[in-house]
Structure 1
Amino acid sequence: MEEFKFTATCPKGLESLLAVELGSLGAKVLREQPAAIHFAGSLKLAYRCCLWSRLANRILLQLDQVRIGDAEDLYRAVAAQPWEEHIGPSGKLWLQFSGTNREIRNSQFGAQKTKDAIVDRLRDKTGARPSIDKHNPDLTVALRLQRDRLDIAIDLSGDSLHKRGYRTHIGAAPLKENLAAALLLRARWPQIAAEGGALLDPMCGSGTILIEAAMMAADIAPGLFRESFGFERWLNHQSDIWNELREEALQRRVAGLGKPLPEIRGYDADARVLFAAEANIDRAGLERQVRVSCRPVAAFKVPSHREINTGLVLTNPPYGERLGEQEALRETYAELGKQLKAEFPGWQVGIFTGNPELGYSTGLRSHKHYQLYNGSIPSQLLLFQVREQGGQAESALKERKLSPEAEMVANRLRKNLRTTGKWASRNGIDCYRLYDADLPEYAAAVDLYRTLEGELYAHLQEYRPPASIDEGKARNRLRDLLRAVQSVLELPRGKISIKERRRHSHKGGQKGAGQYQKQVDERASLQVQEYGAELEVDLWRYLDTGLFLDHRPVRKHLREISSGKKFLNLFCYTATATVQAALGGSVQSTSVDMSKTYQSWAARNFRANGMDPYKHQLVEADCLQWLASAQQNRKGHYDLIFLDPPSFSNSAKMRGVLDIQRDHAKLISQCMALLAPGGTLIFSNNLRSFKMDVAITDAFAVQPLQLLDKDFQRNPKIHNVWEVRAK
Structure 2
Amino acid sequence: MSDRFELFLTCPKGLEGLLIEEAVGLGLEEAREHTSAVRGMADMETAYRLCLWSRLANRVLLVLKRFPMKDAEDLYHGVLDVDWQDHMLADGTLAVEFSGHGSGIDNTHFGALKVKDAIVDKLRTPTGERPSIDKLNPDLRIHLRLDRGEAILSLDLSGHSLHQRGYRLQQGAAPLKENLAAAILIRSGWPRIAAEGGALADPMCGVGTFLVEAGMIAADMAPNLRRQQWGFTAWLGHVPALWKKLHEEASARAAAGLAKPPLWIRGYEADPRLIQPGRNNVERAGLSEWIKIYQGEVATFEPRPDQNQKGLVICNPPYGERLGDEASLLYLYQNLGERLRQACLNWEAAVFTGAPDLGKRMGIRSHKQYSFWNGALPCKLLLIKVLPDQFVTGERRTPEQRQAEREQAEYEQAPDVPQERQYNKNGNPIKPAPAPAPVVEQARLSEGGQMFANRLQKNLKLLSKWAKREGVDCYRVYDADMPEYSMAIDLYHDWVHVQEYVAPKSIDPEKASARLFDALAAIPQALNVDKSRVVIKRRERQSGTKQYERQSAQGKFTEVNEGGVKLLVNLTDYLDTGLFLDHRPMRLRIQKEAAGKRFLNLFCYTATASVHAAKGGARSTTSVDLSKTYLDWARRNLSLNGFSDKNRLEQGDVMAWLEASRDEYDLIFIDPPTFSNSKRMEGVFDVQRDHVQLLDLAMARLAPGGVLYFSNNFRKFQLEDNLGERYAVEEITAKTIDPDFARNGKIHRAWKIMAR
TM-score class, shorter: 0.5 to 0.7
Identify the residue that residue 242 of structure 1 maps to in structure 2. 243
Per the normalisation by structure 2, the TM-score is: 0.51
Contact 2:90 2:125 in 1 (8 A): no
Q: Deviations over 1:425-468 (max 9, x none)?
A: xxxxxxxxxxxxxxxxxxxxxxxxxxxxxxxxxxxxxxxxxxxx
Q: Deviations over 1:370-428 (max 9, x none)?
A: 1111122111111111114799xx9xxxxxxxxxxxxxxxxxxx99xxxxxxxxxxxxx
Match for 1:368: what amino acid? K
Q: Secondary structure at the match of 2:49?
A: helix
Q: Deviations over 1:549-577 (max 9, x none)?
A: xxxxxxxxxxxxxxxxxxxxxxxxxxxxx
Identify the residue that residue 369 of structure 2 maps to in structure 1. 369
Q: Percent identity?
A: 50
Measure the CA separation in 1 of the matches of 2:374 and 2:289: 30
Correspondence 1:319-398 to 2 at 5 A: 319-388=319-388
Q: Secondary structure at the match of 1:326?
A: helix
Correspondence 1:502-541 to 2 at 5 A: none
Contact 1:3 1:42 in 2 (8 A): yes
Q: Secondary structure at the match of 2:39?
A: strand
Match for 1:364: what amino acid? I
Measure the CA separation in 1 of the matches of 2:307 and 2:155: 50
Measure the CA separation in 2 of the matches of 1:185 and 1:386: 19
Match for 1:28: what amino acid? E
Q: In structure 2, do the counterparts of structure 1 residues 244 and 8 end up closer, same or farther at CA, with 3 Å as the change threshold?
A: same
Correspondence 1:219-618 to 2 at 5 A: 219-304=220-305, 306=306, 308-388=308-388
Contact 2:9 2:61 in 1 (8 A): yes
Measure the CA separation in 1 of the matches of 2:278 and 2:160: 22
Q: In structure 2, do the counterparts of structure 1 residues 326 and 105 end up closer, same or farther at CA, with 3 Å as the change threshold?
A: same
Deviation at 1:205, TM superposition (A): 0.2
Deviation at 1:51, TM superposition (A): 0.4
Match for 1:336: what amino acid? L
1:111 and 2:112 matched: yes
Measure the CA separation in 1 of the matches of 2:151 and 2:291: 46
Per the normalisation by structure 1, the TM-score is: 0.53
Contact 2:262 2:289 in 1 (8 A): no
Contact 1:62 1:152 in 2 (8 A): yes
Measure the CA separation in 2 of the matches of 1:225 and 1:389: 45
**Number of aligned positions between the proteins:** 393
Identify the residue that residue 95 of structure 2 maps to in structure 1. 94
Q: In structure 2, do the counterparts of structure 1 residues 126 and 81 end up closer, same or farther at CA, with 3 Å as the change threshold?
A: farther
Deviation at 1:279, TM superposition (A): 0.4
Identify the residue that residue 46 of structure 1 maps to in structure 2. 47
Deviation at 1:59, TM superposition (A): 0.2
Deviation at 1:265, TM superposition (A): 0.4
Measure the CA separation in 2 of the matches of 1:125 and 1:368: 64
Match for 2:50: what amino acid? C
Q: In structure 2, do the counterparts of structure 1 residues 266 and 308 end up closer, same or farther at CA, with 3 Å as the change threshold?
A: farther
Q: Deviations over 1:602-627 (max 9, x none)?
A: xxxxxxxxxxxxxxxxxxxxxxxxxx
Q: Deviations over 1:197-225 (max 9, x none)?
A: 11100000000000000100000000111
Instruction: Give the greater-gyration-radius structure (CA).
Output: 2
Contact 1:19 1:29 in 2 (8 A): no
Measure the CA separation in 1 of the matches of 2:126 and 2:61: 25
Measure the CA separation in 2 of the matches of 1:307 and 1:82: 65
Measure the CA separation in 1 of the matches of 2:177 and 2:98: 23
Q: Secondary structure at the match of 1:145?
A: strand
Match for 2:100: what amino acid? G
Identify the residue that residue 174 of structure 1 maps to in structure 2. 175
Q: In structure 2, do the counterparts of structure 1 residues 232 and 125 end up closer, same or farther at CA, with 3 Å as the change threshold?
A: farther
Q: In structure 2, do the counterparts of structure 1 residues 126 and 299 end up closer, same or farther at CA, with 3 Å as the change threshold?
A: farther
Unpaired runs of at least 5, structure 1: 395-413, 416-727
Q: Deviations over 1:245-265 (max 9, x none)?
A: 111111111100111232100
Q: Deviations over 1:54-108 (max 9, x none)?
A: 0000000001111101111111111111111111010000001001014111111
Identify the residue that residue 715 of structure 1 maps to in structure 2. none
Q: Which has the higher contact order (CA 8 A, sep 6+)?
A: 1
Q: In structure 2, do the counterparts of structure 1 residues 389 and 147 end up closer, same or farther at CA, with 3 Å as the change threshold?
A: closer
Measure the CA separation in 2 of the matches of 1:390 and 1:378: 25
Q: In structure 2, do the counterparts of structure 1 residues 179 and 302 end up closer, same or farther at CA, with 3 Å as the change threshold?
A: same
Identify the residue that residue 55 of structure 1 maps to in structure 2. 56
Match for 2:93: what amino acid? K
Measure the CA separation in 1 of the matches of 2:350 and 2:81: 50
Q: Secondary structure at the match of 1:231?
A: coil
1:23 and 2:24 matched: yes
Correspondence 1:681-700 to 2 at 5 A: none
Measure the CA separation in 1 of the matches of 2:303 and 2:237: 52
Deviation at 1:309, TM superposition (A): 2.6
Give the CA RMSD over aligned residues: 1.9
Unpaired runs of at least 5, structure 2: 395-445, 448-756
Runs of 4+ in 1 over 4 A off after TM superposition: 124-127
Contact 1:84 1:126 in 2 (8 A): no
Match for 1:95: what amino acid? V
Deviation at 1:7, TM superposition (A): 0.5
Contact 1:14 1:372 in 2 (8 A): yes
Q: In structure 2, do the counterparts of structure 1 residues 144 and 273 end up closer, same or farther at CA, with 3 Å as the change threshold?
A: same
Identify the residue that residue 197 of structure 2 maps to in structure 1. 196
